[in-house]
Structure formats: C-alpha cells, structure tokens
Amino acid sequence: MPEITARGVRFHVQTLDPVQPRDPVQPRDPVQPRDPARTGDAGPNLVPAPSSPAAEPPVVVFVHGLVMDDLSSFYYRLAGPVAAAGALAVLYDQRGHGMSERTPTGYGAADAVADLFAVLDGLDVTRPVHLVANSFGGTVALNAALARPERVAGLVLIESYGPADHAGWHENLLNSLARWALALEYERLAEQYGAIGWRKRARHAAAADRLLNGTSLLADVAAAEPVRPADLAGLRCPVLAVYGEHSDVLAAGRLFEAHAPDCELHVLPGHAHTVLSDGTADLLGLLLPWLARRTRSAEPSVPGARREPPGGGSEPPGGRCEPPGGRCEPLGGSPEPPGVRSEPPGVRSEPPGVRSEPPGVRSEPPGGSSQTPGAGSEVRGGPSATGSCAGTRDPIITGGAR
C-alpha cells in the first residue's frame, strides 16, 4: 500500500502498470471471451507493441467523489481495463477519504486541485494526464484542467458536478450531506451497526461521522463556487461526459455541451447518478475507445477542429462516438480484433435522487434492473450533433460516491 506525503498530508496511492504486449500473441477462444469489467484484462490482442522504445504510455488518473467514496470505486471497475489497454492507471484517496490522512481543514476545491498535482509530483508524473472523475470529483478535475491546462490532456466526467449558472447549484448535495451528518451523530449509526454485528458498515459509518462532523468538509463544500459557463470556453483539452438519463445534475452536462470547445456527451438510458457502479459495462464501452482515439496522436486538441476517424473519411465536430458493445481500441494503437468484448453484460440503474439507506448499504431500485444488457446511449453533439457533456452529483455516503 504505497503512501505519498504531499503538502504535509499523507495520501494513500495505488498504481497499475500498463500491460505489455505479449509475444507471440495468442488467438482468443471465441467461445469464452474475457470480460474486462470482471477480470480487469482487456485481452492479449488489445495491447499493441510500442511505436518506439522511448514511447511512454498515457497516464490516466482517477478522482473519486465525496465522503464514503474512495479509490476502490474505480479500482474494481475501470482501472484494470484501462491498464490492460496500455495506460498507467493512478488512483489515490482524496484528503480525509479512504486510507489517506484526515485533516481538520482543507476540503475546498482549490486545496483538492493542489493535492492532486502534489500527488502526481510525488509520483514523478510531469507529463499531461487524462483525469477520470466521478460525481463531485468532477469539480476537482474540471478546476484542475482550468488551473493547469498544460498538465491535463483530457477529462472524462462521470455524473460530474462543476458548471452552473445559478446560485444553489449543489443545494441538494449539501442537504443530503447535512442529513447524514445529523443521523450519524445523533442516531449513532456506527454503534447500532456494531451492536447487530455489521462490523464493516459500522467502520464505514464511523469514518463518515468523523469526516462530516469532525472536519470542515461540509463548510468547505458549501462555500464552493461553480464554474461559470463562460469559463468553460477556456478548456484546452477534450472532454468526455457520461450521465444517466434521470440524473439530477444533467443540466451541468448541457452547459458543457453548449460552452466547452471539444466535448462529447453520452446520456445512458435508464440510469440516474450511479452510472459508475450500475452502468460499468456501457461506461467501459465509451471510455476505452475514447481514450484510444485521444492517445493515438500526440497532437494537442484544437477546439472546434474536425478530426479524421481511423481509415480516413470525415467526422462531425465532437468526435466519433462508438456505442457500448462496439469495437474497443488499444490506447495508442490499432483497433481491437472483431469479437473481442469490451464490456460485461447487464447493467443496473437506480432511481434519481439521493439514496435513503444508511451509510455503506447498497440499494436496488423497485422492480430491479431498468436497462437491458447492451443498452445504448444518447449521443449529443457540440455545434452539430455528435458530442457534448453533462454534469452530475456524487452518490453520497453509501457504498457509492458523491
């Protein structure tokens, strides 16, 4: 369990090295395809030989959400397939979360951005990185891209907060956090869980209680300012935004669509805020091809520029969008052979709004799954109709992330 001390704070960090090409490449058994979301292995044919001995793999950094979230939400879902596709995956617990040090203060967006780059400096990662962020982690990633554009090569925002054009932009989130803080303190949920033998939930509840009621997190989040729509025009990197159809922060995505120069929005039918946990299959089907296209060329993104898809031909502004279940491409390499699956079958969805269960408990929507395996996504586009982005909110202090 590596640790890095940055800005005087101890951070828990995990890295997954990129998978190296195998020689010789063995053909895959078509009867038993590998499932990247379950095995973390994108398959032997997915990783191409490097173009030169000095070629460096792309770096993908994962930024989780608030309170009960930590790096594990990405570690068990996206990081493995991303590393198997040829990228260096970097995960870290944000200040006060997971196994990182819990400080009394320092939970505002500016501190979170400074923490992010300090962790990367501690890992000697100085080249531009792709940031993959969930829920309120998207606010951190967005502000990082605006503050240090030379260090951010791309943004992948999953149900992300961030842009807004009005006050009270995260009022629902603050109300949810406040309710949980009161319940944890006055209903003594950690003790109740411990009394009935739910030790893991008791530990999670106790950690959430210490974070919400023992630090400045609530006050710092309340004081956070949104990114104004006009400021989105200053984004110099491409953006992939993925939101649920029933997300209560989808309006943020529409602002990305309208104002970010190079943004691609996907709206997943039947999903709410829990796209990361319940829509992993569709998410991988979008993320891996997008990263492959963005890392194949070292050329910087030019806002509004038209891009040529593999094999020639023209493409609308916003980029080519491949639906979940489509062919997956290696990061920096050629397309994946036909028949290789890049997502597991089946996804679950949850109704919009904040989960009403106690911390650490996962809930299922009434009637069970609302999306069939292989369900597609709405794809909207910037000036034409192929690309755009959307905002989101972090699933709060349950097994998810806010």
Look at the pTM and tell me if it is higher than 0.75: no
Pairing of strands 129-134, 378-380: unpaired
> What is the total count of domains within the chain?
1
Q: Is residue 304 situated within a structural domain?
A: yes
Mean pLDDT of the chain: 76
Q: Has residue 16 been placed in a domain?
A: yes
What DSSP element (H or E) covers 11? Answer: strand 9-16
CA quadruple 156, 163, 249, 385: dihedral positive or negative? negative
Q: Which residues partner with 16 through β-bridges?
A: 89
How far is residue 383 from each of residues 233, 260, 264, 321, measured CA to CA in Å?
A: 13, 10, 11, 15
Query: How is residue 387 annotated by DSSP?
Result: -
Run of H or E including 201: helix 199-214
Amino acid at 106: G
In angstroms, the Cα distances linking 319 to 46, 203, 298, 310, 311 are: 22, 44, 16, 11, 14
Q: Is residue 402 part of a domain?
A: no
Q: Identify which of 256, 225, 234, 61 has the alpha carbon closest to the alpha carbon of residue 147.
A: 234
Domain that residue 137 falls in: 3-173+225-380
Q: Give the per-residue pLDDT at 41.
A: 44
Residue 130 included in any domain: yes
pLDDT of residue 2: 87
Whether pLDDT at 46 is above 60: no
How many whole angstroms separate alpha carbon 29 and alpha carbon 34?
A: 9
**Per-residue pLDDT tens digits for 332-368:** 543 343 333 334 444 333 333 333 344 443 433 334 4
Residue 208 included in any domain = no
Q: How many CB atoms lie within 10 A of CB 337?
A: 14
CB distance 243 to 275 below 8 Å: yes
The torsion defined by the Cα of 46, 49, 52 and 58, in degrees rounded to 10, comes to 20
Kindly state the DSSP code that residue 45 receives in the 8-state scheme: G
The model's pLDDT over 89-124, given as tens digits with 9 standing for 90+, comes to: 999 999 999 999 999 999 999 999 999 999 999 999
Is 214 inside a domain boundary? no
The whole-angstrom separation of Cα 69 and Cα 396 is 8
pLDDT band at 269 (very low <50, low <70, confident <90, very high): very high
| pLDDT tens digits, one per residue of 180-205 | 999 999 999 999 999 999 999 999 99
Per-residue model confidence as pLDDT tens digits over 276-334:
999 999 999 999 999 999 987 544 443 443 333 333 333 333 333 343 344 344 465 43
User: Which H helix or E strand runs over 63?
Assistant: strand 59-63
**The domain spanning residue 167 has which CATH number?**
3.40.50.1820
- Please tell me the distance from the alpha carbon of residue 245 to that of residue 123, in angstroms, as a whole number: 37
Phi and psi angles of residue 137, each rounded to the nearest 5 degrees, phi first:
-60, -25
d(CA 358, CA 398): 7
What confidence tier does 259 reach under pLDDT thresholds 50, 70, 90? very high
- What percent of the chain stands above pLDDT 70? 65
Residue from 35, 64, 60 nearest 277 by CA: 64
